[in-house]
Amino acid sequence: MTGTVGRPLRADARRNRDKVLRTAYEVFAAEGLGVPIDEIARRAGVGAGTVYRHFPTKEALYQAIVVDRVEHLVNTARELAATTAPGQAFFDFFDLMTTAGATDKGLVEALAGEGFDIEAVMPRHEQAFMDAMRELLERAQGAGAVRADVTVADVKTLMVGCQAMQRYGGDSTPARVLEVVREGLRPGR
Amino acid sequence: MTGTVGRPLRADARRNRDKVLRTAYEVFAAEGLGVPIDEIARRAGVGAGTVYRHFPTKEALYQAIVVDRVEHLVNTARELAATTAPGQAFFDFFDLMTTAGATDKGLVEALAGEGFDIEAVMPRHEQAFMDAMRELLERAQGAGAVRADVTVADVKTLMVGCQAMQRYGGDSTPARVLEVVREGLRPGR
DNA sequence: GGCAAAGCGGGGCGCACGTTCCGTATAGTA
DNA sequence: TACTATACGGAACGTGCGCCCCGCTTTGCC
């Protein structure tokens, strides 16, 4: 995934890299991309220098995380497309994505382009993601479970919006709010 | 509006205050709350010190702007409630709010709590806003134009989400995306 | 066990930004 | 016009954070 292999890492190096990655994942998910590197290093029990040895820049760190996360999502989408009824598969994935928004602040910020430009940095993954979603969408539309006029881009935008709703929350009922959007995606009366 | 009167400002002070306020409004709307004070001062053609004399803190500056904006919105909501058919009034206001999201990045960030906590800082305005929206919503629900089970808080959350969609955009068609949400707000088939 | 090579930690540098200070300029008044 | 309260501008300060450097430790091989 991270491409460059070079030479196998020393045991302690590998351990530290993993600790940093795991910690960063949790921290970014919980508090967003704004958390300082020093803080992540501290929580991972390593020095800041160690973080920078493994990830040349802060951006590289959360890229590694987001790429991983997106790959997961793409796989899930493909599985759903292969194993589940069209409408069901589409809406299951939709829920999955919006739920991710409630849980993973870092991912939301990344998807919304707050921290970096996904398409510029990992066009392949962005592409794979869109393709997987296209398949789900077109199957669902073919089965009459989703209005025929929405595009993949529309769906992605709706997902980002729903993630914002989840995260923003307020006094509203998440389930009902999402229900409204899902209802809107169904074919007209 | 800003309450404290004290003693009338000197002519040049009044002029500068206005310049700062106007500039800040434009800059925050276009680029969000992250723009440095020095930059706003520069564009307004004043020194940073001048900004701080009129607004003791950066937060105070965009509070002044957001309060103003929210008051406008509340007035509009009341007018719509008084002059327009229930369903029409509700959806007109909904469009207005989401459009505001496309135009005014600062407002969105403020509403989403990025820059500060609205409810803590201007509970009166927040309250007025919710009340005005409640009136629109209940009228629309009474007329059968909106599903009966959504609450004001739900609507507010949906608005924030739609603003995010507008701003995030991507390759999607804004009109269609909003259409989906509006459709979801209508009573079930 | 000894010895490079690889890796570690955390102090420090540079920069950006919010905020303050103060010497200078200007409006308003007599 | 002279005088003073008021306001101005921008240099300067403190803080937070990304990132680099370098003396010390650990690992893995002989």
Q: Are residues B14 and B87 in the same domain?
A: no
Contact A158 B147 (CB under 8 A): no
- Digit-coded pLDDT (tens) for A28-80: 999 999 999 999 999 999 999 999 999 999 999 999 999 899 999 999 999 99
Q: How would residue B57 be classed by pLDDT, with cut points 50, 70 and 90? A: very high
Look at residue A3 in the predicted model and tell me its pLDDT: 45
What is the per-residue pLDDT for B116? 66
Question: Does A158 lie in the same domain as A65?
Answer: yes
User: How many whole angstroms separate alpha carbon B187 and alpha carbon B147?
Assistant: 4
Which residue in chain B has the smallest CA separation from A188? B183
| CB pair distance less than 8 Å for A161 and B150 | no
pLDDT at position B143 over 80: yes
Give the tokens for residue A9. 């890492």
Distances in whole angstroms, Cα of residue A13 to Cα of each of A10, A36, A43, A54:
5, 22, 17, 9
Smallest Cα–Cα separation from A109: which of A77, A137, A69, A71? A69
Q: State whether A72 and A151 are in the same domain.
A: yes
Tell whether A2 is covered by a domain: no
User: How much is the average pLDDT of B111-127?
Assistant: 75
Residue of chain A nearest B113, judged by CA positions: A168
| pLDDT above 70 as % of chain B | 94
| B40 shares its domain with B75 | no
Q: What average pLDDT score do residues B151-159 get? A: 95
- Indicate whether B105 belongs to any domain: yes
Decide if A42 is inside a domain. Answer: yes
Whether residue B156 and residue A164 make contact (CB cut-off 8 A), yes or no, is no
| Closest partner CB to A180 (pick from B163, B168, B184) | B184
More confident: B172 or A39 = A39
Q: Domains in chain A: how many in total?
A: 2
Q: Which domain holds residue B52?
A: 7-56
Evaluate if residue B154 carries a pLDDT over 90.
Answer: yes
- Residue A2 is predicted with a pLDDT of 44
Q: Do A47 and A139 fall within a single domain?
A: no
Phi first, then psi, for residue A117 (nearest 5°) are -100, 100
Give the distance from residue A108's alpha carbon to the nearest chain B alpha carbon, in angstroms. 11
- Whether residue B51 has pLDDT greater than 90: yes
Q: Angle formed by the axes of helices A37-44 and A11-31, to 10°?
A: 120
Any domain includes B135: yes
Residues A154 and A108 in one domain: yes
Report the residue from B151, B158, B173 with minimal CB separation from A154. Answer: B173
Q: Are residues A109 and A38 in the same domain?
A: no
Q: Does residue A3 belong to any structural domain of this protein?
A: no
The answer on B66 and B151 residing in a single domain is yes
Residue A146: CATH number of its domain: 1.10.357.10
- For the segment A137-156, the average pLDDT, to the nearest whole number, is 97
**Does one domain contain both A52 and A67?**
no
Q: Is B1 among the domain residues?
A: no
Tokens coding A54: 């493994």
Evaluate whether residue B2 is within a structural domain. Answer: no
CA separation for the pair B52, B60 (Å, rounded): 10
**Predicted pLDDT of residue A149:** 96
CA dihedral A124, A142, A112, B107 (to 10 degrees): 160
pLDDT score, position B137: 98
* Same domain as A116, residue A169: yes
Domain co-membership, B31 together with B113: no
Q: How far is CA B41 from CA B19, B36, B37, B61, in A?
A: 9, 9, 6, 12
User: Among A75-84, B104-113, B114-123, B166-175, whose mean pLDDT is lowest?
Assistant: B114-123
Q: What CATH number is given to the structural domain containing B40?
A: 1.10.10.60
pLDDT value for A98? 93
In a domain, A145, yes or no: yes
- Residue B114 is predicted with a pLDDT of 67
| Average pLDDT rounded to a whole number, residues B52-73 | 94
pLDDT digits (tens, 9 = 90+) for A67-125: 899 999 999 999 999 999 999 999 999 999 999 888 999 988 887 766 666 777 778 88
Bases of chain D below 7 A from a protein C-beta are 6-12, 16-22, 26-28
> B101 with B158, same domain?
yes
For chain A, what percent of residues have pLDDT higher than 70? 93
Nearest nucleotide to A47, CA against C1' atoms? C9
Residues A89 and A142 sit within 8 Å (Cβ to Cβ):
no
Least confident of B1-5, B88-92, B140-144, B158-162: B1-5
